[in-house]
Amino acid sequence: AQSVTQLDSHVSVSEGTPVLLRCNYSSSYSPSLFWYVQHPNKGLQLLLKYTSAATLVKGINGFEAEFKKSETSFHLTKPSAHMSDAAEYFCVVSGGSQGNLIFGKGTKLSVKP
């Protein structure tokens, strides 16, 4: 069965410093993995996705994630945080029994000026 664990419920960084949001997954086969972002009172927007091509995936707004099969991880990074990055981020794995996406519980990113 597929599952995903986001290791931090809340991450706080200063503007201009690097961002690291950690995600581990469990899957019985090669999964597709996604990061979605949700700004306050908004819907979910796809940041990036991994679908068994390049292990380093680049997304929108300067974010990227690296798929590491040996570590079953898919951590999200950004070199320099911006105030507009403050949001909740969800790591997601595909392949639920009903074809749905399996969501992590989310990591809330705060960015201090």
Partner 1 sequence: NAGVTQTPKFRVLKTGQSMTLLCAQDMNHEYMYWYRQDPGMGLRLIHYSVGEGTTAKGEVPDGYNVSRLKKQNFLLGLESAAPSQTSVYFCASSYRRGHNEQFFGPGTRLTVL
What is the contact surface with partner 1 in residues (CB under 8 A)? 9, 31-32, 34, 36, 42-46, 49, 51, 90, 94-96, 98-101, 103-106
107: Cβ contacts below 8 Å, ≥ 6 apart: 6, 8, 9, 10, 11, 21, 22, 88, 89, 90, 91
Distances (CA, A) of 70 to 45, 62, 80: 28, 25, 27
* Min CB(5)–partner 1 separation in Å: 11
Between residues 12 and 45, which has the closer beta carbon with respect to partner 1?
Answer: 45
* Min CB(14)–partner 1 separation in Å: 25
Between residues 68 and 105, which has the closer beta carbon with respect to partner 1?
Answer: 105
